Amino acid sequence: MSLELKPKKWPGAIRTVTLGSGSRRPLTVGGGNGLPLHTFEASFPHRPVLALEITDVPPPRWIDTVRQPWNGVLGQPAAAARRAVDEFGADLVMLHLVGTHPDRGNRSPQEAAADVRAVLDSVPVPLIVKGPGAGPKQNDVLARVAEECQGEGLALHSACQEEYKTLAAVAVAYGHVLVAESPIDMNIAKQLNILLADASMDLRRTLMDPLTGGLGYGLEYTYSVMERIRLAALGGDAMLNSPMICLVGEEAWKAKEVKVSGGVHWELATALALIEAGAEVLVLRHPESLARLHRQLDCWFGGDACR
């Protein structure tokens, strides 16, 4: 009795999205036409990419384990970006403008734009820029950054269902990529993409952030919603087939277990599980997690056997 396993074919595929333009070395993600990592039956022209997170001011809530690799450059975005790319080998960088939050320093949009410019001047890779979060400051900061860094193809993080028009407009006007965030909810993710398309946003310039639950803190919800989104996309739903980005480091290092157990393993397990569920852009905090994941991805997509 011989064993015959037919490759599974799908009508849909993931959109390709290119991060970085202008002075950036561009990086394209997406394009796969099968279940995540199913390289044995589907084609994946682009592999998942790994970013490291840096901050504009010393990060207020990072624990020592994750601060340690960044000693001397915390809160210095240009120097931290160089370390992330040149020493640690990050594919791209996420600058979190945490210091623009009203409770965290209330830095101005002008200062934020200067920080982004400094990072662009220090490294050639694409840049994700995360604003201070919900609230009026988010738009002020990201709109200013978008305008001052016209044509650089930044990924602006993020727009949500309640507040997307301003950011969609500036992303279109100044040539950036927009991250559409939904609260672990496939219907809202789809709705937001429809709204963005109506706002004349080209979906080839958007990523979806399904909202990451860290290991032990809701990972299973994110994992399953991503699997469902990916199945819908492969089934042909053009409003759910954007590549997905996960802010892994931020969630994994929040767990209280990382203070007693190895934080790198916590981040690594969260990230690998989410790659299996379909993440194409992962934002990490610890260079060791990045190195270990790179090794696995090299093996998966580079064609060389490895451990």
We find the least distance from the C-beta atom of residue 172 to another protein, in angstroms, to be 30
Structure tokens at 217: 């803190």
**Judged by CB, which is closer to another protein: 148, or 227?**
227
Complex with another protein: residue 142 or 272, whichever CB lies closer: 272
Tell me the backbone φ, ψ of residue 294, rounded to 5 degrees: -55, -40
Question: Binder to another protein among 12, 227, 237, 239 (CB under 8 A)?
Answer: 227
Q: Does residue number 235 form part of the binding site for another protein (CB under 8 A)?
A: no
Contact letters for another protein, residues 185-224 (x by CB under 8 A): ----------------------------x-xxxxxxx-xx
Per CB under 8 A, the list member of 64, 162, 187, 256 interacting with another protein is: 256
Q: How far is the CB of 141 from another protein (least distance, A)?
A: 18
- Smallest CA-to-CA distance from 26 within 155, 181, 147 is with 155
Closest to 31 (Cα-Cα) out of 243, 223, 277: 243
2 phi and psi, to 5 degrees?
-95, 160
Instruction: Tell me the pairing of strands 27-30 and 49-55.
Output: unpaired
Nearest 5 degrees, angle CA 237-CA 41-CA 38? Answer: 75
Distance between CA atoms of residues 169 and 164, nearest Å: 9
Instruction: Tell me how far, at minimum, the Cβ of 113 lies from another protein, in Å.
Output: 26
DSSP strands (E only) in 169-213: 177-181, 206-209
* 110-to-23, 44, 92, 152 alpha-carbon distances in Å: 21, 40, 23, 17
Judged by beta carbon, residue 42 or residue 120, the one nearer another protein is 42
Q: Given candidates 16, 28, 38, 199, which one binds another protein under the rule CB under 8 A?
A: 38
Out of 169, 195, 269, 291, the residue judged to bind another protein by CB under 8 A: 269
What minimum distance in Å lies between the beta carbon of 50 and another protein?
14
Binding mask 152-181 for another protein (x = CB under 8 A): ------------------------------
* DSSP labels, 11-37: S--PPEEEE--TTS--EEEE---SSTT
Structure token pair of residue 253: 């290092």
Tell me the site size for another protein, rule CB under 8 A.
Answer: 47
* 118 three-state secondary structure: helix
CA distances from 261 to 218, 255, 258 (A): 18, 10, 5
* Residue 186: C-alpha distances to residues 204, 217, 232, 233, 277 (Å): 19, 19, 10, 11, 14
Work out whether 93 is an interface residue with another protein (CB under 8 A).
no
Give min distance, CB of 204 to another protein, in A: 28
One character per residue 51-80, x = contact with another protein (rule: CB under 8 A): ----------x-------------------
2 binds another protein (CB under 8 A): yes
Q: Which residues bind another protein (CB under 8 A)?
A: 1-5, 8, 35, 37-40, 61, 103, 213, 215-221, 223-224, 227-228, 231, 254-257, 260-262, 265-266, 268-269, 272-273, 276, 292, 296, 299-300, 305-307
